Structure 1
Amino acid sequence: MKRTILFALIWLSVMACDEKQNATPQPEPQSTSVPYRKQTKIAASGAGASGADLKVDLREVNDSRCPKDVVCIQMGSAKIKLNVSDATNSTEVNVDFKGDAKADSQAFTLSGQNYMLTVSELQPYPVSTQTPKIEDYKVNVTIEKK
């Protein structure tokens, strides 16, 4: 009886692994680092993205994240203001960055097209003994067409 159960578990494991290998991998959106006040081109990925280059400009960072050398009750967040533009229009996009991949996104519309802007990282991370200059900030951004 034990052999039958063991054989069944091994067979189920092999079948589960085999199914994952047949899955079609989804392309990962390309993250781009955007420095403060330096307009950066980003290719929008996603549904029907055909060479849609957008320009992103980091305008403002209000960083209240917990410094890495301090114990805090709350993790904090950083409010990031970006200006996104295409060949004809521009819009302001505000993201409340908490370091949570699911929550650090903001939908916006530019020239009638819907996009999702995701922030994956904000550097430098705060330290209690130093106050970074606004020019030191860089934000990693991904933009997808919806």
Structure 2
Amino acid sequence: MRKVILLALICMSVIACDKKDAAVPQNEVQSASIPYRKAATMSIAGADLKVDVREIVDTRCPKDVLCITLGDVKINFNISDGANQTDLDFTVKGDKKADFQVFKLGDKEFILRVSEVSPYPISNLAPKLEDYKVDLSIERK
């Protein structure tokens, strides 16, 4: 009888500790690599967002130079969902925890994260604006 009670208690504790991952909605994240001045469409939570990189100002320290400051990249995005649009000024400082920005389109909020801006500058080669690509992800907040 003790074994049956012990087995029942073990089964009940396993069931009680079972995670309900299916009940927690997961945010959908879409990633893209967007070339300078070329728009890309990303589908996020039923909204088709058109993302366009309008302007890039790269003041990062070239990788073969010793600089006092690291510099940053300033990017201007135009983001629209067909009915609404917004211009978003974004500064990438190289801190993964801080390289994100919240923006609104209509009554929906989104989070834009920039993971990389390439090419990285080299002292004797100045990249053309047409060569730049921005790796980003957008998720619904």
The alignment's TM-score, normalised by the length of structure 1, stands at 0.75
CA distance in 2, matches of 1:85, 1:27: 20
Identity of aligned residues (%): 53
- Verify: 1:100 aligned to 2:103, yes or no: no
1:27 Cα offset (Å): 7.6
Q: Flag the structure with larger Rg.
A: 2
Aligned to 1:110: 105
CA contact (8 A) 2:28 2:139 kept: no
Give the alignment's Cα RMSD to 1 decimal. Answer: 1.9
Distance 1:37 1:119 in 2: 16
TM-score under structure 2 normalisation? Answer: 0.77
User: Residue 64 of structure 2: which of 60, 66, 69 is its match?
Assistant: 69
- Cα offset, 1:32, TM superposition: 0.5
1:93 is aligned with what amino acid?
Answer: L
Stretches of 4+ moved more than 4 A in 1? Answer: none
Residue number in structure 1 paired with 2:38: 38
Say whether the 8 Å CA contact 1:94–1:106 is kept in structure 2.
Answer: no
Deviations 1:58-82 (A, max 9, x none): 0000100010010112111010111
Write the letter of the residue equivalent to 1:41: T
Separation in structure 2 between the aligned mates of residue 127 and residue 136 of structure 1, nearest angstrom: 14
Query: Which stretches in structure 1 are left out of the alignment for 5+ residues?
Result: 1-21
Task: Give the count of matched residue pairs.
Answer: 119
Unaligned runs of 5+ in 2: 1-18
